[in-house]
Amino acid sequence: MNWKKAVKIVVGVIIIMACVFAFLVWEGICFVTSPTASKYPVKGIDVSHYQGEIKWDSIQKDLGITFAFIKATEGSSHIDEKFQQNWEQATGSGLYIGAYHFFSFDSNGKKQAKNFIKHVPKRANMLPPVVDVEYYGDKASNPPAVRKVRKELDDLLGQLEKEYKCKPIIYTTVSVYQKYINEYYNAYPLWIRNTYYRPFLIKNRQWTFWQYSEKGKWPYGGTKNEKYVDMNVFAGSMESFLRYFNLEE
């Protein structure tokens, strides 16, 4: 066998292996990032109406998770169509649960807070409210002014903290973090999305939750035959998780 033929065979094998790996990642069979259970034992999900009918009575065992964040509201008037059902059924699931709000760059912050507070009742052992700040539509290519975004976000976070007596969690992507969140919201727990590698933030800013995959296998189906769910880990042990959020075991 001459060396040119050998090189072609090696290159062909590498291409096939890369294609197989890409397929496995796409199907949620394996992850580009896969946090080890020994280092990140506290795992959870975030869900919305896209996940359809959720079997809350068995989800803890089915997915091996500890917590779940449920989409409640968006902007100043929208409520997720499955929120009330999910919130009620999740209560007896054995999971630690919380609710999240999808931030609108185009809506008044106080009105957004009012929408969330109206639909999310306070309950014992509840995780803090989450504000999901990420680009949508054409916002990535036409990002809103930093001062305006922070003004509305300040109002929203302040109202939620006043109502729920705790600092809300800020969920965000790396690009949005760098533009709007970095160094300005250091007092708030941070939930960062990075599906390629463990987040490393400048000036040693620590994250509290890490969304490491959007391709977690979803066993229940959902709207438009949803096959996946977002997967997350907490930055610490179960003991530190309970202590950090003042939760009862």
- Alpha helix locations (H) across the chain? 3-26, 59-63, 83-90, 109-119, 146-164, 174-176, 238-244
Chain position carrying tokens 């009918």: 53
Instruction: Compute the distance between CA of residue 126 and CA of residue 248 in angstroms, rounded to an integer.
Output: 10
For 121, the domain range is 36-244
Q: Distance between CA 234 and CA 249 in Å, rounded? A: 16
Q: How many domains does the chain have?
A: 2
Residue 249: inside a domain:
no
Q: What is the mean pLDDT of residues 12-28?
A: 43
Q: Which residue has the higher pLDDT, 226 or 96?
A: 96
202-239 pLDDT tens trace: 777 899 999 999 999 999 977 777 899 999 999 999 99
Asked, for residue 236, whether it belongs to a domain, the answer is yes
| pLDDT > 70 fraction of the chain, expressed in percent and rounded | 86
| Of 217 and 70, the one with more pLDDT | 70
pLDDT of residue 21: 38
Same domain for 47 and 141, yes or no, is: yes
24 and 42 share one domain: no
CATH code, domain with 167: 3.20.20.80
Is residue 9 located within the same domain as residue 91?
Answer: no
Assess whether 43 and 143 both reside in one domain: yes
Query: Which tens digits make up the pLDDT trace of 119-130?
Result: 999 999 999 999
